[in-house]
Structure 1
Amino acid sequence: MWRTTWRNLLAHKLRLAMSGLAIVLGVAFVVGTLIFTDTLSKTFNDLFRSTAADVTVTRAAAFDQGLAGTGAGGTATFVPDDLVDEVADVDGVAAVAGDITAEGVYVLDPDGEVLDTGGAPGIGINWTTEEAVSVTTLVEGRAATGPGEVMIDTGAAEETGYDVGDTITLLTPGPRVEAELVGTFRFGEEGGLAGASLTAFDTATAQELLTAPGQFTGIGVAADDGVAPGELADRVAAAVGSDYDVRTAAEQADSLASDFSEALQFFNIFLLVFAGIALFVGTFIILNTFSMLVAQRTQELALLRALGASKGQITRSVLGEALAVGVVGSTIGLAAGYGIAAGLRALFGSFGLTLDGSLVFAVDTVLWAYAVGVLVTLVAAYLPARRAAGMPPVAAMRDDVVTVQRGLRRRTVVGVLLAAAGAAALVAGTLTEDGGSAASLVGLGALGLILGATALSPVLARPFLRGVGAVLPAIWGTTGRLAQENAVRNPRRTAATASALMIGLALVSAFSVIGASTNASIDKLIAGSVRAEFVVSSAVGQPFSTDVATRISEVDDVETVMPLRWGQALLDGDITFLTAVDPSGLDRSVELTWVSGSADGLGDDGLIVDEATADARGWSVGDTVDVLTIDGRQQEVVVGGIYESNQVVGSSIVSLDTLSGAGGVAQDRFLFVDLADGAAPADVRPQLEEVLGAFPIVDLKDQGEFSEEQKGQVDQLLLLINAMLVLSVLIAALGIVNTLAMSVIERTREIGLLRAVGLGRTQLRRMVRLEAVLISIYGAVLGLVLGTLFGVALSRALDDQGITEVVVPWPRMAVFLLVAAVIGVLAAVGPARRAARLRILDAIARA
C-alpha cells in the first residue's frame, strides 16, 4: 500500500501543489512570527544583561508601572546622592557610582531635524568614570566635564555626521541646549541600542537637566574579587533598608526581560492570530482537494478493496499522502518563514528599531512548524480518508464515477445551532456594559457565526446560486446556464471553496466597519470636546519639554496654554492611569459634560473622574480617595467632579501639582492653545510655527488636523491588519484555482461531449470563468454580511472605549465585492485554458 501511496503522490503532484502552498503560507507566517519575536527578545535581553552592574540599587516602587524605557508610566523615582557614600562603605564593594538615566533627550542633526529613533526613546545619562560599573566605553575624544560639553553614542555620531569638536543642539526634558561634542562612546560590548540614541553629560549637568540636584535614578555597584554578587546584594540591602530595591545583574536583567516579554506578548499573539487564520482557511483547500481526489479515484480505491485492501489500509494510504503534503509544505514554510522574519527585521530597522546579530532559529520553532503544518493537513484529510475507506468494492465494476451526495439534514441542524449561539453571544456583547466582557462575547459570537455559516454554506448555496446565478443565462445564454449548473451541482464543494474566501472577507469587512466607526467617533469627539484653537502634540511619540508651553505662552494673542500630562498612582488600591491638567484652563480648552461637580474640584489635591469610573468604584463628589505614589508615599485626594466619558482627557484627572506630588514627570504630552478673543487663527499660526521651529519633536495642529492625526493612527493599524488578512484572501484564491482545476479534470468527459456538440473554446473558457465568479461572489456576500454584523456588534460593545458612532463603509464593501469577482476571474484563467486545450476525442475517451 505504501508503494501505491507513493505512486498516487507522483500522479497527483500538481493537484496537491495548491494544498501544499496553503500550508507553506500558513506555516511561513507562524515561523516568521516565532523567529522575529525570538530575535526581538534576544536583542533586548542581551541589552538588559549588558547594562547591569554586579549590583544595582533603585528606589523601591510601590507598584509596577510597566516596562521602563517605554515612557508609558509617566512617573519617576530617585535616590539621594548621599546613599552612594553609604553603599561605598559596605564590605565587599570594589566600586560604586550614581547613575542617571532619563528619556526625552534628542539630538538634532545639522539640518535641525530630530535624529530619527523610529519611536525608540532618546536617552540621557551621566558619564561614569568608574570603569567597573560603567556600561560605556570612550571611543574618541574625552569625557564631558561641564555644562557646555556633551558626548553621544557612536551610532548617533555616524548617522548625523558629527565629529568631536562640533557644536551640536539637543532637546532635553528641560531647555534646548547647545554644547560642544567632546567625545563619542560605545554602549555595551557591541554598541547595540535597538534604535535608541544615547547622550552623556557630566553628573552635575545631568542632574540639573534630567533629575534634580543631588538625585540619581540608581546606583551601580561592583563587587570585590571573591565576593559573589548575591552575597554583596544582601549586604547592600541590609545597609540601605527596605526603601530601596537591591538586585544582582542577573536579577535586574531577568526582571527587565520579564517586563519586556509581557509587553511583547500582545505583539506575538497579534501575529500568531493571523497565522492561525491563514491555516484555518488553508484547511478548506486541503479538505476540498482530498475530497475531490477521493471522488475521482472511486474505481481505483474500490478495486484495491476488491483485491483485499482493508479499510484501515485505504485510510492510511490517503493519510500518508496528506502526511507527505504536510511535511513538504512545512519544510518549505520553514524556509519561507525565515525570509519573512528577515523582512520584518528590515522593516523595523527602517523605522529605527535595529535588531543586532543574526536571526534566532530555535529548535522550538522547527518543532512548531512541523507540528502545525502536519497536524492541520492530517486533520483536514481525515474525513476524505474515512470516506475513501468506506468505498464498496462493487464500485470498481461501474463504467463511470457516480458521486452520491449525503443529506444535509445533520449539517443544517448543527449549523443552525452554532449560528443561533453565535447570534446570541453577539447580542449579549452589545448589551454588556463591561467593555472587556463585551468584546469577548462578540469574539465568541463571531466564531460561532463563522462556524455556523460554514456548516450552513451548502444549504444556503443552492438558493443563492440559483437566484443570483439566474443573471448568467439571461446575459450569456447557454454558457451562463452551464456555469450556474456547474456551481449548483456540488454544493458541498462550492461551499468549501467559498468558505475560505468568506472568512477572509468577513474579517476584512469587520475591521473596515470598526475603523470607519472609530474615525467617525474621533471626528465627533474632537469637534464636540476640543475648544482650543490649536493642539501641540509629539511628532516622535514621546513626551516633550515644558519649555514648549512657556515659549508658546509668550506669543501675542495666545490667551492660555493648557498642558496635558500622564502618570500613574494607586487609587484605593487599584493602579490608575492619570491625566494631569492645569485646572484654570480645563473648561476653556476642553468641553466636558458634568454629571456633578465642576473643574474647580481639581484644586487642593482634587480628583475628577468619568461616570463609568465613579460607578465602578462607588465614588461620589466629596469622597476621599487614598493615593499611594510610585515611591510609596501616602496622600489623599477628594473627588471634586464627575463627568461623562471623554477620551480626550481619559477617565481620571488631577492637577499638574497633584501629579508632581505623586512622582509624575514634568513633561507634556499635549498642549491646548487658546487664543485671545478676536484673534484670527490664520494670523497667529505663523508666529506659533516660528516658535515651534526650535522644537522639531512637536507639531502644531488645528482641530481638523488633530482629528486627522488621531484617525491616521487608526488607519495605520487597520492597514497593517488588512495587509495580514490579505494572506487569507490569497489562500482563498488559491483554493478557487485548485477547485476549478480539479473540477476540469473531473469533468473531462463532460467537457469533451460539450465540445463535440458545438461548444466553442471561447464559450468553454467563459463557462469556467463565470463559475469561478459565481463561487467568489457567493463567498464574498456571506463574508461581507458576517463581517458587517461583527463590526457593528464590536463597535457597539466598545462604546465605553470611545466608539460612539457606528458606520458601515458601503462604498468600500462594494469594492470588496468587486475584488472578489476579479479574484474569481483571475483564479479561472489557468483552469479555463486547460479545459479549452483538451482534445475532443481524447476527452470523450477518458473514463
Structure 2
Amino acid sequence: MTWADLLRAAVANTRRAGLRAGLTVLAVFIGALALTLTSGMGTGVNRYIDETVAAFGTPDTLYVQRSHPLVELSSGSGPRPWEPGSSRVQTGLGVSFEGLTPGDVALLEGLEHVASVEPMYSVTPSWLETPGGERFQLPLGIPVDVEGLRLVAGRAPDPGRDELSLPGSWVAGLGFASPQEAVGARVEVVMEDVAGRPRAFPATVSGVTQASLAGTALNPIPSASFNERLHAHQVSGGPQPVPESYLMATVSVPDLDRIGAVQDRLEDEGMVASTVEDKLGMFRAVINGIVWILNTSAVVALLAAGLGIVNTLLMSVQERTREIGLMKAVGMGGHKVFGLFSLEAVVIGFLGAVAGAAAGVLAGTAASDALAAGPLARLPGLSLFAFEGDRVLLIVAAVVGIAFLAGTLPAVRAARKDPIEALRHE
C-alpha cells in the first residue's frame, strides 16, 4: 500500500467517522480562526505604528528637553515677573517651566556624533479669531510636528511663511463647510506680551490634518517662522529682557549606533533625549502584549482540539481493532498502520486549519472595512486586521503539526497491536 493509498484511506476513514470527526474538525476550526484573527490584529496595528513612526520623524532624530520640567502658576491675574538669568520658558499667561538655555543648545551642538540642532520656542497664544470674528482658545503644537502630519486637504505649513495647519476636527467648529474651504483662509492669532498687551498676527491656513497615533494633529501647528514671530512678541514688553529659553530641541545623530551614547551623555547633563521609537514604543509593547494574551487563548483552544483528535482516533482504533488485525495479517507493517492513523489526524487538522484560516481572513477583512468606516474613521490608514500570506500559511502548518502530534498516541497504539489478538477482538 503506497502513501497515496494511505492518504486516500485516511480521507475515507475521516468521512466515515461522521459527526465525531466533524465536531473535532470544528474544534480545530475555532482554534485556527482565533489564532488567525489575533495574528492579523497584531500585524495590522504594528504596521500602522510603523507607518506612523515613519511619518512622525526619522530614526536619527532625538527630541531633547530638560529631564525635570518645573511648572509654576502665578497666583495673581497679571504676568509673572521674570528673574534675571532664569531659564524658565515664559508663556505670557503666568505659566513658566524649565526650558533649554542657549548654553544647553551650544552644548548640544558641540557633542560628538551630532550633525545638527534645531531649538524650538514655546508659544501660548491668547486666542484664535476666525474671519467671522469668533474667538477660540488656541493650544499650538510645535513646528517639528509637521513631519508627522497626515493631510486631508492642502499642505504642511511652509517654514518661511506665516501659516498654520488645522486639525480636521476643528473645521466645522470654526465655521468652514469642508477642509477644502478652510485651506487658504486667513485667521488671526492674538498674542499677548509680558505686559499683557495683545497683538494680532494674521496667518493662512495651509492645510487640514487628520488624527494619527502619534498625536501630532490634535492641535494647530504653526510654521517655524510664524512660531518665532509669536514667541518674539510673547517675551517682549517687559521691564527687562527675557532670557532666551527653548521648549525643546531636535538633534540629528546620523550614526544610529551612537544614539545611545548621546542619550547617556545628555542624561549626565540633566537632559532627557527620546527617539520616535521611544515615544511610540509603548504602544507597540501594549499591542504585542494583548496579541500574545489572545494568541495564548487561541493556543489553548487548539490544545483542546488536539485532545479531541486524540479521543476521536482512540475510539477509532478501538472500533477498528479487527480491521487493524486484518491489515497486519495481509502484510501491512506497523509503520504503515502508524502512518494511516497519523494521516487521519493530519486530515482532521488540515481541514480545520484551512477552513479556520480562510474564515479568519474573510472575517478580519470585513471587520477592518466596517471599523475603518465607523469607530476608527478618525484614524485613517489603520486596518485593525492585516494578513500576510506567509503568516497565514505558518498558522496552518502549526495547526497541522499540533494535529499530527495529537494523533501520535492513537497511531502508536494501533501500530503495536498484535494481529492475532486483534482478529479475535469482538
Which category describes the TM-score, using the shorter chain as reference length? 0.5 to 0.7
Letter matched to residue 264 of structure 1: I
Q: Which has the higher contact order (CA 8 A, sep 6+)?
A: 2
| Other-structure match for 1:359 | 386
Q: Verify: 1:96 aligned to 2:118, yes or no.
A: yes
| Residue of structure 2 aligned with 1:220, choices 232, 250, 254 | 250
Taking the TM superposition and a 5 Å limit, the aligned residue runs for 1:363-402 are 363=390, 366-371=393-398, 373-394=399-420, 397=423, 402=426
Give 2:143's match in structure 1, choosing from 127, 132, 135.
127
Change beyond 3 A, Cα 1:327–1:158: farther
1:263 Cα deviation from its structure 2 partner: 1.9
Q: For the structure 1 residues 96 and 325, does the alpha-carbon distance in structure 2 shift closer, same or farther, using more than 3 Å as the test? A: same
**Match among 244, 257, 270 for residue 271 of structure 2:** 244
- Structure 1 residues 30, 307: closer, same or farther in 2, change over 3 A? same
Note the C-alpha offset of 1:275. 0.8
Question: Is 2:34 the partner of 1:29?
Answer: yes
**What's the CA shift for 1:271?**
1.2
Q: 1:278 aligned to 271, 276, 301, which one? A: 301
**Distance in 2 between residues matched to 1:270 and 1:367, nearest whole Å:** 19
Q: Which of residues 190, 200, 205 is equivalent to 1:183? A: 205
Distance 2:231 2:30 in 1: 51
Deviations 1:64-110 (A, max 9, x none): xxxxxxxxxxxxx96336467536854875561427799xxxxxxxx
Q: Are the counterparts in 2 of residues 20 and 328 from structure 1 also a CA contact under 8 Å?
A: yes
Go from structure 1 to structure 2 and tell me whether the alpha carbon gap of 1:57 and 1:47 turns closer, same or farther (over 3 Å shift).
Answer: same
Tell me what 1:79 maps to. 99
Residues 255, 89 of structure 1: alpha-carbon distance in 2 compared, 3 angstrom cutoff: closer
Q: Per the alignment, do residues 242 and 97 of structure 1 end up closer, same or farther by CA in structure 2, a change over 3 Å counting?
A: closer
Instruction: Classify 1:134/1:281 alpha carbon distance in 2 versus 1 (closer, same or farther; 3 Å).
Output: closer
The answer to whether 1:319 aligns with 2:335 is: no
* Aligned equivalent of 2:63, options 50, 57, 66: 57
* Percent of residue pairs bearing the same amino acid type: 16
Once the two structures are superposed, residues 654-711 of structure 1 have per-residue CA deviations (whole angstroms, 9 ceiling, x without a partner) of xxxxxxxxxxxxxxxxxxxxxxxxxxxxxxxxxxxxxxxxxxxxxxxxxxxxxxxxxx
TM-score in terms of structure 2 length: 0.61
Q: How many residues align?
A: 336
Distance 1:181 1:277 in 2: 59
Q: Is the 8 A contact 2:121 2:245 kept in 1?
A: no
When residues 87 and 346 of structure 1 are mapped into structure 2, their CA distance, relative to the original with a 3 A threshold, is farther
Q: Unaligned 5+ residue runs, structure 2?
A: 69-96, 125-138, 189-200, 235-242
Paired residue secondary structure (2:312) = helix
* Alpha-carbon distance change, 136 to 12 in structure 1, aligned in 2, over 3 angstroms: same
- Cα distance in structure 2, aligned partners of 1:284 and 1:237: 53
Partner of 2:353: 330
Distance 2:156 2:309 in 1: 66
What is the Cα deviation at residue 144 of structure 1?
A: 10
CA deviation after TM superposition for structure 1 residue 232, in Å: 9.1
Does the 8 Å contact 1:144/1:201 carry over to 2? no
SS at match of 1:183: strand
Say whether the 8 Å CA contact 1:43–1:355 is kept in structure 2.
yes
Distance 2:67 2:106 in 1: 21
| Distance change >3 Å, CA 100–CA 299, structure 1 → 2 | farther
* Conserved? CA contact 1:150–1:181, under 8 Å: yes
Aligned twin of 1:151: 165
Amino acid at match of 1:126: I
Residue 265, structure 1, aligned to residue 288, structure 2? yes
TM-score, normalised with respect to structure 1? 0.33
2 CA distance for matches of 1:231 and 1:307? 73
1:42 to 31, 40, 47: 47
**Contact 1:51–1:135 (CA under 8 A) maintained in structure 2:** yes
Alpha-carbon shift at residue 37 of structure 1 (Å) = 0.7
- Secondary structure of the residue aligned to 2:331 is coil
- Equivalent AA in structure 1 for residue 44 of structure 2: T
Determine the C-alpha separation between the residues in 1 that align with 2:303 and 2:260: 51
Tell me how far 1:316 sits from its aligned partner. 2.1
Q: Does 1:193 align with 2:217?
A: no
Q: What one-letter code is carried by the residue in structure 1 that aligns with 2:154? A: E
Please state whether the residue corresponding to 2:218 is helix, strand or coil. Answer: strand
CA contact (8 A) 2:11 2:344 kept: no
Determine the C-alpha separation between the residues in 1 that align with 2:331 and 2:155. 87
Give the counterpart of 1:300 among 306, 314, 323.
Answer: 323
SS in 2 for 1:193: coil
Mapped partners of 2:122, 2:315: distance in 1: 68
Deviation at 1:318, TM superposition (A): 0.5
Unaligned ranges ≥5, structure 1: 63-76, 103-122, 169-178, 403-847
Equivalent position amino acid for 2:35 in 1:
V
CA contact (8 A) 1:55 1:222 kept: yes
Alignment partner, residue 12 of structure 1: 13
Q: CA deviation at 1:385?
A: 1.8
User: 1:519-668 residue pairs with structure 2 within 5 A?
Assistant: none
Q: Which residue of 2 aligns with 1:549?
A: none
Tell me the distance in 1 between the aligned counterparts of 2:366 and 2:409.
37
2:118 is matched by which residue type in structure 1?
V
Distance in 1, Cα, partners of 2:123 & 2:389 = 34
The alpha-carbon deviation at position 219 of structure 1 amounts to 1.7
Query: Cα deviation per residue 1:176-218 (whole Å; 9 max; x = unaligned)?
Result: xxx999425477xxx7714954322444879999xxx987653
Distance 1:9 1:97 in 2: 71
Helix, strand or coil at the partner of 1:199: coil
Distance 2:371 2:204 in 1: 31
Q: Supply the distance in 2 between the matched residues of 1:235 and 1:384 (Cα, whole angstroms).
A: 61
Superposition deviation, residue 161 in structure 1: 3.6
Secondary structure, aligned partner of 1:80? coil
Q: CA–CA distance in 1 between the matches of 2:388 and 2:380? A: 18
Distance 1:362 1:182, change over 3 A: farther
Distance 1:217 1:318, change over 3 A: farther
> Offset of 1:267 from its aligned partner?
0.9
| Alpha-carbon distance in 2 for matches of 1:79, 1:241 | 16
Structure 1 SS opposite 2:250: strand
1:599-643 CA distances to partner (integer Å, 9 max, x unpaired)?
xxxxxxxxxxxxxxxxxxxxxxxxxxxxxxxxxxxxxxxxxxxxx
Matched AA of 2:414: A
User: In the TM superposition, what whole-angstrom CA distance separates every residue of 1:397-421 from its partner, at most 9, and x where no partner exists?
Assistant: 56xx73xxxxxxxxxxxxxxxxxxx
CA distance in 1, matches of 2:123, 2:388: 33
**CA-CA distance at 1:27 after TM superposition:** 1.6
> Do the aligned partners of residues 216 and 88 (structure 1) sit closer, same or farther apart at CA in structure 2, a change above 3 Å counting?
same
Q: Partner of 2:141: helix, strand, or coil?
A: strand
Matched residue type, 1:193:
S
The CA distance in 1 between the partners of 2:405 and 2:55, in whole Å, is 46
- State how far apart, in whole Å, the 1-side matches of 2:342 and 2:259 are: 61
The residue type equivalent to 1:274 in the other structure is: S
Q: Give SS of 1:125's match.
A: coil
Aligned ranges 1:433-444 → 2 under 5 Å: none
C-alpha contact 2:31 2:298 (8 A) present in aligned 1: yes
